[in-house]
Structure 1
């Protein structure tokens, strides 16, 4: 009897593995499996870090020593993380800016995030201008670059809006500007002007979240993630529609 159950269990496990492999193959064919996996990993990391941070915010006695210890290095850590995110990381730096607002307040958080975004975007522009598309395709997904590059180049009049909104992939935008014939001064003026509203919006949100209870913080964080994802998805559809018209 036990042997029979064991055989059935192994058959069931094998069947599940086969079904998962088939599903995975289909998702990979559609380019969704990797995106889904990355999304789940990011969400898990956000919730783990979020609960630690929220616990600290709930207890000022625990938060104060942490801030005191990181008082001198904290801003440089935030700036460094944002620079790395803009140039190398395939995830939006939105959450780093929100966290900066939660820890340092709207104005200081915006200042640190602004410096990081400006320096990171300048570095992305310089790398693209100096080393060309071959290097950029190593730093950014070739698919993503092709998807947005043409759209950005044909709608340069909207560059200020792109940098001002926190749902646009500004890292790809900066690389795209570097690959184009855009003058350095024009890029600098547009990028620096746009990031003012971008960082202020996100650090304002972070400052407001920091003052909420644990339940409300989780609720509004989920709402923010949903809205952010929806806007990013809508922008992606807009880009796809313009690409179809251009073909």
Structure 2
């Protein structure tokens, strides 16, 4: 069986058995798997988060998943930002859809990246790569990634094994929406302050 097919067939039960078998590794596995997903987007990030929560508890499971997911996103962004002008990425810039996303990110900065990374099934690898190719500042991307991933990992962790419970349970849905709204407001405030400081330094 190919690696892609093998990984795609992994169930929550399989992951929990792996986590139990390698308990001696502590948080390395819980952080490492979400980090690896940033480089191999076919990996089941949602499943990793749920396995973390079931293995380490809500608080630690959430924390390990968030650290891994954020570290992976930032690493991909930095690698693409450094080598984005090389031939390896040249073909990406030619696609109209990529050009539209580049323009969108560069004109709106924090907002679209934050929103895209908030949702569990957004292809975050594509967001990280396009952001790296764009002219958006590294600080803006890191801020959007930290807050967006925080919301996404919180949603998956809070919902547990049953993501549909967000729809069936109005209380859970309200909590998630409240967190999303707070993170959005905080992000926009920080972004405005960063822009103001940058303008002051340029004067």
Q: Taking structure 1 as the reference length, what is the TM-score of the superposition? A: 0.53
Query: Which of these two proteins has the greater Rg computed from alpha carbons?
Result: 1
2:132 is aligned with 1:178: yes
Counterparts in 2 of 1:202 and 1:180: CA distance versus 1, 3 Å: same
Alignment of 1:24-43 (within 5 A): 43=8
**Deviation string, structure 1 residues 140-196 (Cα, Å, up to 9, x no partner):** x96xx8756633642643221111111111121111111100101111111111111
Q: Taking structure 2 as the reference length, what is the TM-score of the superposition? A: 0.63
Residue 12 of structure 2 contacts residue 47 of structure 2 at CA under 8 Å; is this kept in 1?
no
RMSD: 3.6
Match of 2:31 in 1: 79
In 2: Cα distance, 1:78 partner to 1:112 partner: 6
Q: Residue 100 of structure 2: which of 150, 166, 170 is its match?
A: 150
In 2: Cα distance, 1:53 partner to 1:204 partner: 19
Q: Residue 118 of structure 2: which of 139, 164, 167 is its match?
A: 164
Counterparts in 2 of 1:116 and 1:53: CA distance versus 1, 3 Å: closer
Counterparts in 2 of 1:174 and 1:99: CA distance versus 1, 3 Å: same
Counterparts in 2 of 1:99 and 1:136: CA distance versus 1, 3 Å: farther
In 2: Cα distance, 1:85 partner to 1:159 partner: 18
**Deviation string, structure 1 residues 29-58 (Cα, Å, up to 9, x no partner):** xxxxxxxx9997555x23xx434467x6xx
Match of 2:152 in 1: 198
Match of 1:16 in 2: none
What is the number of residues matched between the two proteins? Answer: 159
Name stretches of at least 5 consecutive residues in structure 1 with no aligned partner.
1-36, 57-62, 210-219, 225-247
Residue 149 of structure 1 contacts residue 173 of structure 1 at CA under 8 Å; is this kept in 2?
no
Counterparts in 2 of 1:118 and 1:169: CA distance versus 1, 3 Å: same
